């Protein structure tokens, strides 16, 4: 929607700024002087088809170096003060339907669900189901529909507070800006800053998250990884960023040294390859189990094996965040159903970018982290210091055996209801996985919603954590993202996961046909796309097997009448 508004400046800029907006025919841009905006600054506000920059604040510590969106301008100078209302106003000015930009009123969906459940006095049964307290009837809310194979809308990722501010800065400093990955990096940073200190819900949950960013080369994976390291270094918290480990023993030693940490791992496909290899060592296989175990500890303890310090070593309440990135080919080629059934992958939020992002035409230097972000990360790390007469909680957070007392963030009643709804959805998918094992990726989706909601709330209240509370808007935002992640991941598993080399090659051929125009491809074009990855005889065998299985249809297209010579074209069509 912001892109459409930039392409149609005449529809809304004069309405907001009137005669103060000076049109420049040569560039198609508008300029508004600082004097016209009622401020004592030197530089103008530039509104151009290729981007908006407020030069007046760009070099004055602004988190985005003056970069703005049309929605930002509507809220700052126009007639609306909320992002959604500003977006709707822009749509009205351009004569566009918000639905044409992918808008789904998820807040309304969440509100309707919450209202319906609250009106019925819903309670949770011992088996995890929600039931009507008066009638005993099981409450089964409608499952939200999530479009698969499509990228998550950028506008749906915008969020208030520190998470949104960090994501905006990463976007502004990225050559290939991807808001999906920028937001994940922001959530990782905030979650690590409060790790081992903040918890919520019953059973308790913390802020550790496992992320997998999947995109083709040039898909925007690199900058978010570097931004995490840069933010913590600027805040003096670089010790919280740790490299990947190669064995169970090394993971234990790493967590013993830093029980709160984030592991930033580029090309995580190489790590997965170790886990699935027939030649994987016992330590590598144990590492897989340990990653699974650490994820769910929350207020529990982790006893690493093979650590050479003491036999009774116990790491209390470990908080490990994992941020990995790879390409779709490297990721899916390593997957086997055992990783899904074994629980490793259902601990991850898999973020798949299906389309390459456009290169930024308005790149901001990444030299310095905005002071507000540095201040916020430090505040989240140290906010409890001085409140007790004992050791500072920020120092205790680095003590594997003596963590600080947990601070429990309350949950608003309507937010609690939506969390119950997330548990119902997760349980329904677990039951369905008895007949469709790929749905096991949903097993921990409700826990992920709760963790994301907690991190969002902390990011909103970093200046006064004593006032922190999870609201329904936090849960609604988190639920939408988790639902999309799960549905997108399931779609990817169905299309790409294989158990052996032959199955992997067959799925590769199906993917080439599926992505071809009209889901049909000539034999010559298919051979060209395979590009030597298969022997011709093997490719012929795979195509024959796919046709016999009814997955593709083989057509013969005769040359046009009147043409001289020529052989019929063989065309493969996805069924």
Residue 457 near residue 409 (C-beta atoms within 8 A)? yes
Determine the Cα–Cα distance for residues 426 and 525; give it in Å rounded to an integer: 42
For the chain, what are the domain ranges? 2-101, 154-355+409-496, 501-574
Answer yes or no: same fold for 154-355+409-496 and 501-574: no
pLDDT confidence band for 375 (50 / 70 / 90):
very high
DSSP state of 157: H
CA pair distance 5, 145, nearest whole angstrom: 28
What DSSP element (H or E) covers 269? helix 269-276
Q: What is the pLDDT of residue 112?
A: 47
Instruction: Determine the CATH number of domain 501-574.
Output: 1.10.10.10
Greatest mean pLDDT among 288-302, 374-388, 432-446 lies in 288-302
Predicted pLDDT of residue 119 = 47
Widest CA span of the chain, in angstroms? 95
pLDDT digits (tens, 9 = 90+) for 403-432: 999 999 999 999 999 999 899 888 888 888
Report angle CA 445, 183, 363 to the nearest 5 degrees: 160
How far apart, in whole angstroms, are the C-alpha atoms of residue 416 and residue 412?
A: 6
Cis peptide before 275 (omega within 30 of 0): no
Do 263 and 320 form a contact (C-beta atoms < 8 A)? yes
Q: From residue 50, how far is each of 45, 101, 161 by CA, in Å? A: 14, 19, 27
pLDDT tens for each residue of 94-149: 888 877 766 555 444 444 444 444 444 555 566 655 556 556 666 554 444 555 56
Residue partners of 444: CB distance under 8 A and separation at least 6: 296, 346, 347, 426
Which of 178, 250, 159 minimizes the C-alpha distance to 458?
159
Give the residue, 295 or 394, on which the prediction is more confident.
295
The one-character DSSP state at 133 is T
Tens-digit pLDDT profile for residues 10-26:
999 988 988 888 888 87
- Which range is most confident: 47-61, 159-173, 328-342, 382-396? 159-173
For the chain, the average pLDDT equals: 84
Alpha-helical regions (H) of 433-565: 445-460, 472-496, 501-515, 523-530, 536-548
Domain 154-355+409-496 -> CATH class: alpha beta
């Amino acid at each position: 929607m912001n892109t459409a508004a930039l392409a149609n400046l005449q529809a809304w800029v004069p309405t907001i700024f009137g005669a103060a907006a000076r049109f420049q025919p040569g560039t198609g841009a508008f300029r508004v002087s600082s004097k016209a905006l009622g401020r004592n600054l030197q530089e103008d506000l530039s509104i151009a088809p290729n981007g908006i920059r407020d030069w007046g604040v760009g070099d004055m510590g602004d988190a985005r170096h003056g970069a703005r969106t049309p929605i930002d301008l509507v809220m700052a100078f126009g007639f609306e003060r909320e992002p959604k209302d500003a977006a709707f106003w822009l749509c009205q000015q351009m004569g566009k339907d918000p639905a044409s930009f992918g808008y789904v009123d998820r807040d309304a969906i969440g509100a309707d669900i919450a209202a319906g459940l609250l009106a019925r006095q819903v309670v949770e049964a011992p088996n995890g189901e929600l039931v009507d307290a008066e009638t005993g009837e099981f409450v089964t809310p409608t499952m939200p529909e999530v479009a698969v194979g499509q990228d998550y809308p950028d506008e749906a990722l915008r969020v208030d507070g520190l998470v949104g501010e960090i994501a905006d800065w990463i976007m502004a400093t990225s050559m290939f800006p991807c808001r999906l990955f920028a937001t994940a990096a922001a959530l990782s940073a905030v979650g690590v800053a409060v790790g081992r200190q903040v918890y919520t819900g019953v059973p308790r949950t913390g802020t550790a998250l496992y992320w997998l960013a999947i995109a083709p080369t040039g898909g925007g994976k690199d900058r978010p990884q570097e931004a995490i390291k840069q933010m913590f270094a600027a805040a003096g918290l670089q010790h919280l960023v740790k490299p990947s480990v190669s064995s169970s023993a090394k993971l234990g030693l790493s967590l013993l040294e830093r029980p709160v940490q984030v592991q930033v791992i580029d090309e995580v496909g190489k790590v997965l390859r170790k886990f699935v290899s027939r030649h994987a060592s016992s330590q590598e296989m144990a590492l897989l189990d340990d990653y699974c175990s650490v994820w769910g500890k929350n207020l529990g303890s982790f006893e690493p094996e093979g650590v050479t310090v003491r036999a009774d070593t116990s790491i209390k309440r470990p908080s490990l965040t994992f941020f990995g990135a790879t390409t779709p080919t490297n990721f899916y080629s390593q997957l086997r159903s055992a990783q899904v059934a074994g629980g490793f992958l259902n601990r991850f939020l898999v973020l798949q970018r299906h389309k390459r992002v456009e290169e930024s035409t308005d790149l901001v230097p990444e030299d310095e982290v905005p002071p507000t972000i540095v201040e916020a990360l430090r505040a989240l790390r140290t906010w409890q210091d001085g409140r007790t007469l004992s050791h500072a909680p920020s120092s205790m957070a680095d003590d594997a055996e003596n963590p600080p007392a947990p601070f429990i963030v309350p949950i608003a009643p309507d937010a609690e209801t939506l969390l119950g709804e997330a548990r119902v959805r997760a349980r329904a998918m677990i039951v369905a996985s008895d007949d469709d094992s790929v749905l096991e990726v949903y097993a921990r989706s409700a826990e992920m919603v709760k963790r994301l909601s907690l991190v969002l709330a902390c990011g909103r209240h970093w200046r006064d954590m004593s006032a922190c509370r999870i609201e329904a808007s936090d849960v609604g935002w988190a639920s939408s993202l988790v639902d999309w992640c799960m549905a997108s991941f399931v779609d990817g598993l169905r299309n790409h996961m294989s158990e052996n080399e032959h199955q992997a090659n067959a799925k590769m051929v199906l993917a080439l046909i599926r992505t071809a125009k009209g889901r049909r491809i000539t034999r010559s074009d298919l051979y060209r796309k395979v590009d030597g990855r298969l022997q011709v005889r093997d490719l012929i065998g795979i195509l024959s097997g796919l046709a016999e299985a009814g997955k593709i249809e083989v057509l013969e297209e005769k040359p046009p009448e009147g043409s001289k010579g020529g052989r019929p074209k063989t065309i493969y069509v996805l069924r």
